[in-house]
Amino acid sequence: MTINDATGNTGLTKLSDLYELAKQSKKKKLVLAVAHDEHSLGAVCSVVKKNLIDAVLVGSEKQIREIASKLNLDISNLSIVNEENDSNAVRIAVKMVHDKQADILMKGNVPTAVLLRGVLDKENGLRKGDVLSHFALFEIPTYHKLLGLTDAAMLIAPDLKTKIALINNAVEFMNKLGLAKPKVALLCAVEMVNESMPATMEAAMISKMNQRGQIKNCIIDGPLAYDNAVSMESAKHKGIVSEVAGDADLLVVPDIEAGNVLYKAFGFSANAKLAACILGASAPIVLTSRSDTEQSKQDSIVMAAAVN
């Protein structure tokens, strides 16, 4: 890790840098909701073994121990809360985070909707703002540093207010990872404002709001086409003068279709590594897919543990 520019940003170039940050941060405690899940339990045990987190497992103790035996996982130092009912297990796990008995919530063998229902519970949930959003951090072989992406999995067609909220979620998280002023690129199909393309109008408005100090702790520019956001040569060729162009830390997509396609293209076609979590709650939520690699699950846990 290095200081990469005049903004004072800590230069995160590889996901392995997150492991160093986690070592330097206060050790976090993760609670795995409905922990009888091979993929999630394996990832948690791997990170615990590296001494980067402590963990509590909430779910069917019988099934948890069967999985641990099957996969040869050491769970001797992990706390287990036996709860056979999945919804109750979610409530217990969420309340632990709500009551500051744990720092990170992770989804186990339970539908996302059930987990989020617990997170959004008005009495014991993790409500912080109005918007929960998905954030991913990619290590792409052809890019010179880690690259964030939001939102590829939660918000279908965010309006202007929601886009500002998801930007604030991601920027706050990146600030906690050591990027004092992440460079935010608002992606559109073109870099010119076009009244027939509403996303370009919103991008221009958000950029101006950032310039006026309404969106803080980051540098925003847009609309920018993808090539302009990540390629200095492309930006120069098109005559774009921008602190963000060619050096973006965070890509903000106009809708979930664009985000989902870009997310999967990075992983499946660009050989990128990734870490991801849900932001906007009072604590990070690690919510991985079964199609995610074992390494990406571990990296997602470590990313959540690395925030100050």
User: CATH no. for residue 62?
Assistant: 3.40.50.10950
Asked if residue 4 belongs to a domain, the reply is no
137 and 268 belong to one structural domain: yes
The whole-number average pLDDT for the span 78-105 is 97
82 and 51 belong to one structural domain: yes
pLDDT at 63 (0 to 100):
97
The whole-number average pLDDT for the span 238-264 is 96
147-159 pLDDT, tens per residue? Answer: 999 999 999 999 9
- In the structure, what pLDDT confidence band is assigned to residue 11 with cuts at 50, 70 and 90? confident
Q: Taking 80 as the threshold, does the pLDDT of residue 281 lie above it?
A: yes
Q: Which amino acid is present at 19?
A: Y
pLDDT at 288 (0 to 100):
82
240 and 219 belong to one structural domain: yes
pTM to 2 decimals?
0.93
In contact, 106 and 30? CB cutoff 8 Å: yes
Asked if residue 68 belongs to a domain, the reply is yes
User: Using CA atoms, how far apart are residues 33 and 94, in angstroms rounded to an integer?
Assistant: 8
Asked if residue 6 belongs to a domain, the reply is no
pLDDT at 31 (0 to 100):
98
Asked if residue 7 belongs to a domain, the reply is no
The alpha-helical segments, DSSP class H, found in 99-187 are 112-119, 160-176
196 and 79 belong to one structural domain: no
238 and 156 belong to one structural domain: yes
109 and 51 belong to one structural domain: yes
Q: Taking 70 as the threshold, does the pLDDT of residue 225 lie above it?
A: yes
pLDDT at 263 (0 to 100):
95
The whole-number average pLDDT for the span 301-305 is 97
Average pLDDT of the chain to the nearest whole number = 94
180 and 79 belong to one structural domain: no
pLDDT at 3 (0 to 100):
46
119 and 35 belong to one structural domain: yes
156 and 84 belong to one structural domain: no
In contact, 71 and 9? CB cutoff 8 Å: no
Q: For position 261, which CATH number holds?
A: 3.40.718.10
* DSSP string computed for 207-259: HHHHHTTSS-SSEEEEEE-HHHHH-HHHHHHTT---SSTT--SEEE-SSHHHH
Q: What percent of the chain has pLDDT over 70?
A: 97
The whole-number average pLDDT for the span 26-52 is 95
- In the structure, what pLDDT confidence band is assigned to residue 1 with cuts at 50, 70 and 90? low
pLDDT at 26 (0 to 100):
93
60 and 144 belong to one structural domain: no
Cα distances (angstroms) measured from residue 171 to each of 43, 60, 112, 192, 269: 26, 37, 24, 24, 27
pLDDT at 292 (0 to 100):
79
Asked if residue 12 belongs to a domain, the reply is no
178-216 pLDDT, tens per residue? Answer: 999 999 999 999 999 999 999 999 999 999 999 999 999
* Tally of structural domains, the chain: 2
143 and 247 belong to one structural domain: yes
In contact, 165 and 280? CB cutoff 8 Å: yes
Asked if residue 164 belongs to a domain, the reply is yes
pLDDT at 293 (0 to 100):
83
The alpha-helical segments, DSSP class H, found in the chain are 16-24, 38-49, 61-71, 86-98, 112-119, 160-176, 198-211, 226-230, 232-237, 256-269, 294-306
144 and 221 belong to one structural domain: yes
pLDDT at 135 (0 to 100):
97
**Dihedral sign from CA coordinates of 221, 226, 230, 233:** negative
Asked if residue 99 belongs to a domain, the reply is yes
Asked if residue 2 belongs to a domain, the reply is no
Domain hosting residue 33, numbered range: 18-128+281-306
Cα distances (angstroms) measured from residue 262 to each of 131, 181, 257, 267: 22, 24, 9, 9
